[in-house]
Amino acid sequence: MTSPDTPPRPAQSRRNKSFEATHQALIEASVRLISEKGVETLTVAGLARAVGMNRATVYYHFATREALLEAVSAWSSQQLTRGFKGEGNQQDRIDFVARFVLENPDLIKLWIEQFIAPGNIRDRYPKWDDFIAANKDMLRDTAGLDVEVYCTFLLAGAIIGPHVFRNSVRPDLPEDEIVVRFRAEQQRMLKRDGLFSSS
């Protein structure tokens, strides 16, 4: 109910919210399907069947499989961005990224493929310039440091590292132990480089 001072909300605004909510739900359902069956099996028609939605409605949101995969990759990038510069303390953020990588191997493969493809990194990781600026400010006293290369190392290590470690180095370890080991080593490295934060 609106007060006399509040103008009624237009129907278009409600439709946009409904569209956005459905769009987000379809992306999250796609993530679940990728986790369960692999990225190769994801199709727009298969997504419609999985969520019990009219195929035309799903095609309205994602005209092609490629558009759907791009949306899933963008969602993945947003999750990883939360881990690098999100809320919470540094330990929680490091743990979040490591767990996300370990729990979503097929999604991470998709993200890595798109991340290393030619094109502007800002399209795949929208907070790249913020990431560079924050590290440049903290590392300003380190003579000769190439901040862009350093940040590339940080990003690649955090995203690819846990995946490689679990699959090829120590497949016998439980996820929690891998997360703890990666956190300890990342914090040691960040402390060495003056980027450690206890908050």
- State pLDDT tens for residues 65-81: 999 988 888 888 777 77
Does the domain at 10-63 match CATH 1.10.10.60? Answer given as yes
Burial class from Cβ neighbours inside 10 Å (0-12, 13-18, 19+) for residue 64 reads exposed
Q: How far apart are CA 48 and CA 129, in angstroms?
A: 37
Taken in order 185, 188, 192, 194, the sign of the CA dihedral is positive
pLDDT < 50 regions, the chain:
1-4, 6-14
How far apart are alpha carbons 135 and 117 in whole angstroms? 24
Q: Is the pTM of this model over 0.95?
A: no
Secondary structure element (H or E) that encloses residue 87, with its range: none
Domain positions in the chain are 10-63, 75-199
Can you give the pLDDT at residue 86? 59
Q: What is the pLDDT of residue 199?
A: 55
